Amino acid sequence: MAAGQSGPGPLTPAYVLQARPYGDTSLLIELFTQHRGRVGAIARGARGPRSRMRGLLQPFVPLQVGLQGRGELQTLSLAEADGTPTPLTGERVFYGWYVNELLLKLLARDDPHPRLFPVYAHVLLRLPDAAADDALRHFERHLLDEIGFGLAAPDDLRRAQRYRWTAEVGLQPDGRGSVSGDTVERLLADQPLPDAAGREARQLLRAILDAALGGRPLQTPLLLRRLRARLGDNTAPSR
């Protein structure tokens, strides 16, 4: 073992958020782990023809990983499948990429978010089914809670009242506001968001995410819009 490095620790649940070629046979990966949050790591030799990790280090695959080393980048010492990969096809692949992009842009490395990890695992499981848009909205809300941009409801929240959100004040009553108290209550309780409630929740959370991102654009919604334009589908993207 090289001087200054710690030995491999216990295995921890993780997902690959992003993987890029590194050198001739290795991968530079970003992981979302249960106990350490987002972690950057080098998977040495992972692209080699005899590597046991070849084909395993991909998004949406539940893993158990071992990490060693100190500093900005860890070394991936072991990776094992910990379940069945989420079967995403077509546009639902973009949904998964969108969730991963949010984590990459909004979570700092080595900042633990143990409560968010099961929420992430749950949203991946729901992305293939008809409730995918609901799952995205609830994931966004939990993520914003974790990073200090949580949706706070007024003490006297009324289901029939309209509200508007601003970064300076948060939610405040406004008869011409874009979101109802009913939608806010559904979001905070992780309840279904049918029809208008889903559209209102998307608009509200988009505004809060924009504030959290500080003007940084998200690439996945843009890619999805381009794909739909190419296919002649003008449906609004999930974000």
Co-location of 109 and 189 in the same domain: yes
| Domain end marker among 60, 81, 102 | 81
pLDDT at 232: 79
SS3 percent helix, strand, coil of the chain, rounded to 5, is 35, 25, 45
Residue 108 within any structural domain of the chain? yes
Residue 175 within any structural domain of the chain? yes
Co-location of 106 and 76 in the same domain: no
Co-location of 103 and 131 in the same domain: yes
Co-location of 206 and 114 in the same domain: yes
Residue 1 within any structural domain of the chain? no
pLDDT at 233: 63
Co-location of 132 and 207 in the same domain: yes
CATH code of the domain covering residue 19: 2.40.50.140
Residue 237 within any structural domain of the chain? no
Co-location of 106 and 203 in the same domain: yes
Residue 25 within any structural domain of the chain? yes
Residue 92 backbone phi and psi in degrees, to 5: -65, -20
Q: Name the domain count of the chain.
A: 2
| Domain end marker among 81, 99, 129 | 81
pLDDT at 5: 43
Residue 211 within any structural domain of the chain? yes
CA distance 216 to 219: 10
Co-location of 55 and 28 in the same domain: yes
CATH code of the domain covering residue 154: 1.20.1440.120
Per-residue pLDDT of the chain (239 residues; tens, 9 = 90+): 334 444 456 899 999 999 999 999 999 999 999 999 999 999 999 999 888 888 899 999 999 999 998 888 999 999 999 999 999 999 999 999 999 999 999 999 999 999 999 999 999 999 999 999 999 999 999 999 999 999 999 999 999 999 999 999 999 999 999 999 999 999 999 999 999 999 999 999 999 999 999 989 999 999 988 888 888 765 544 45
Residue 5 within any structural domain of the chain? no
pLDDT at 1: 38
Co-location of 132 and 209 in the same domain: yes
**Rg for the chain (alpha carbons), in Å?**
20
The tokens for 209 are 């995410």
The tokens for 102 are 């949010």
Residue 99 within any structural domain of the chain? yes
pLDDT at 239: 54
Q: Which domain holds residue 60?
A: 12-81
CA distance 153 to 165: 10
Co-location of 205 and 127 in the same domain: yes
Q: Nearest to residue 113, comparing CAs of 197, 195, 33?
A: 33
Does the predicted TM-score (pTM) go above 0.95?
Answer: no
CA distance 140 to 102: 9
